[in-house]
Amino acid sequence: MPYVTAGMVMSLPADVGVRILIGSDGSAQKVDYSGGTPVLKHELDYYFKDGAHYRKACKGSTISFIVRYLVEGNKTVRPVSEVQFRPPNEFIVRSHPVIPASDPVREPTTN
C-alpha cells in the first residue's frame, strides 16, 4: 500500500491517476501517471510497477487507480501516514503535517 516518505512531504497534498497495462507474466508492462510530481511517481512505481504482481489471467488488461494524498491532523517530526482503500479504485493516503527541520538563521559575520 502506498505511504508517505520524507522525500514526498513537499509534494503533498496531491491526486495521482495511475493506469497499468498488465503484461503476459503478471508484471506491469506499462504504467502511466496523470498529476503528481516526479517524486510521487517514482515512489508509486514501487507499488504499481516494480514491486507489484498481477494475475497472469489479466494479461492485456488495463486497470486504473486514483491515489489521493491528504495532509491533515497534528504536526509530527517525521512522516506518519495511514492508507484506506475505497473500492473500486481509490487509495486515500492521509499524512500528518511534518515539522520542518532547519538550522537557525545565522547573522552574517564581518571581519
CA–CA gap between residue 56 and residue 63 (Å, rounded): 13
Cβ-based neighbours of 68, under 8 Å, separated by 6 or more: 14, 15, 90, 91, 92, 93
| Predicted TM-score (pTM) of this structure | 0.81
pLDDT at 59: 95
Residue ranges per domain, the chain? Answer: 6-95
- For residue 72, which of 7, 17, 13 has the smallest C-alpha distance? 13
The per-residue DSSP string of 54-100 comes to: --GGGTT-EEEEEEEEEE-SS-BSS--EEEEEETTTEEEEEE--B--
Instruction: State the Cα–Cα distance between residues 67 and 53, nearest whole angstrom.
Output: 18
Q: Residue 6 carries which DSSP code?
A: G
User: What pLDDT shows up at residue 8?
Assistant: 86
Per-residue pLDDT of the chain (111 residues; tens, 9 = 90+): 777 877 888 889 999 999 999 999 999 999 999 999 999 999 999 999 998 999 999 999 999 999 999 999 898 888 888 999 999 999 999 998 888 766 556 555 555
Cell numbers for 8 = 514526498
